[in-house]
Amino acid sequence: MAEVTKLIHKYLRHDKKFPHVWCPGCGIGIMLGSLIRAIDGCGFTKDETMLVSGIGCTGRLPVYVDFNTLHTTHGRALTFATGIKLAKPEMKVIVVMGDGDAVAIGGNHFIHAARRNVDMTAIILNNSVYGMTGGQYSPTTPYGMKTATSVYGNVEQAFNISELAVTAGAAFVGRGTVYHAKLLDSLMKKAFLKKGFSVVEVISHCHTQYGRINRMGSAVEMMTWQKEHAITVEKAANMKEEELKDKFRIGVLIDKKLPVFHEEYEKIRKWAKGIQ
């Protein structure tokens, strides 16, 4: 077994729930690999790591890994995670969500979590579609694209998740793809070590639903699309807007220092006790 595979196996729950639910070729496995390598790289112990998810294909991720794992209701993962982090600030809290989970049903929680700056990481796998329910359009389905509920073409405009996170005030926002796995490893590591609310958007593919109906080919062809359309932040800085028209930026989009909720609240506790 290759060293990199050995590392991943160290964190899997082998005795339960394999084989997993994901389709062959799905990007979630690559994201899970990055997540494990980043947690290992940060030196977090299994006992102090808290993995929280919502509903959907991505929501099924925590069950496979040997951390403290919590599979919540649709869209609400960040609210449960907020409670856990504030109750036990020493825990490393990571939330994994899909695009529908994070910015449709959970959109309000997402922008408020970014604003509130609770010290945790939201990882959002964006595959532009609701996969588990059979490929309906999501808030990140581009205009004109076909899905099971937009067979004539999507008439809505898509959210840009990373820009939404930046605008809502997240302390750290990074975007990667499942093609650029090494970049994803480093983005996740940076996000996990960041003090405050950090976001990593992971551009992925759903060849089973979205790719099939839009004739985008197999997982390999869809990952090739990612390779061809992703431009690093550094490279994009020297490019004209016109050249970036159908491209998206990958890398660290924002990294700033903000007061962290539980540290601020600790000051409140001291102050409140002082006036008692």
Partner 1 sequence: MKIKKVKISKKAEERILLLQGNEAIVEGALRAGCRFFAGYPITPATEISELLSVRLPRVDGTFIQMEDEIASMGAIIGASLAGIKSMTATSGPGFSLMQENIGFAAIAEVPCVIVDAMRGGPSTGLPTSPSQSDVMQSRWGTHGDHPVIVLCPSTVKECYEITIKAFNMSERFRTPVILLVDEVVAHMREKVTISDDEDIEIFNRVKPTVPPEWYIPYEDTPGGVPAMAGFGEGYRYHVTGLTHDVRGFPTERPEEIDPFIRRLFRKISQHYHDIHLGEFYQTDDAEIIIIAYGSVARSAKRAVKDARQQGVRIGLLKINTLWPFMRTAVEKALQTSKTIIVPEMNMGQISREVKRVNKSDAKIFTINKVDGTIITPDEILKKVKEVG
Is residue 81 involved in binding partner 1 (CB under 8 A)? yes
Provide the sign of the torsion angle of the four alpha carbons 135, 220, 19, 12, taken in this order: negative
Is residue 42 involved in binding partner 1 (CB under 8 A)? no
State which residue, 75 or 251, has the beta carbon closest to partner 1: 75
SS3 123: strand
Number of residues that bind partner 1 (CB under 8 A): 41
Is residue 69 involved in binding partner 1 (CB under 8 A)? yes
CA 257 – CA 46 distance, rounded (Å):
27
Q: Write the DSSP string, 169-194.
A: T-SEEEEEESSSHHHHHHHHHHHHHS
Is residue 268 involved in binding partner 1 (CB under 8 A)? yes
Among 32, 39, 84, 188, binds partner 1 (CB under 8 A): 84
Is residue 82 involved in binding partner 1 (CB under 8 A)? yes
Among 1, 2, 6, 16, binds partner 1 (CB under 8 A): 16
CA 153 – CA 194 distance, rounded (Å):
40
Is residue 179 involved in binding partner 1 (CB under 8 A)? no
**Residue 82 tokens, joined:** 């907020």
Is residue 198 involved in binding partner 1 (CB under 8 A)? no
State which residue, 72 or 186, has the beta carbon closest to partner 1: 72
Shortest distance in whole angstroms from residue 116 CB to partner 1: 8
E strands present in the chain: 49-53, 68-71, 92-98, 121-126, 129-130, 136-137, 172-177, 198-203, 230-232, 248-255
Is residue 229 involved in binding partner 1 (CB under 8 A)? no
Cα-based torsion angle of the residue sequence 32, 36, 38, 43 in order, rounded to the nearest 10 degrees: 160
Is residue 177 involved in binding partner 1 (CB under 8 A)? no
**Residue 34 tokens, joined:** 């990055």
SS3 231: strand
Taking each helix axis from N to C terminus, what angle separates 28-42 and 181-193, rounded to the nearest 10 degrees? 50
Shortest distance in whole angstroms from residue 97 CB to partner 1: 13
Site string (104-143) toward partner 1, x via CB under 8 A: ----xx--x-------------------------------
> What residues make contact with partner 1 under the rule CB under 8 A?
16-17, 46-48, 50, 52, 62-63, 66-73, 76, 78-88, 90-91, 108-109, 112, 265, 268-269, 271-273, 276
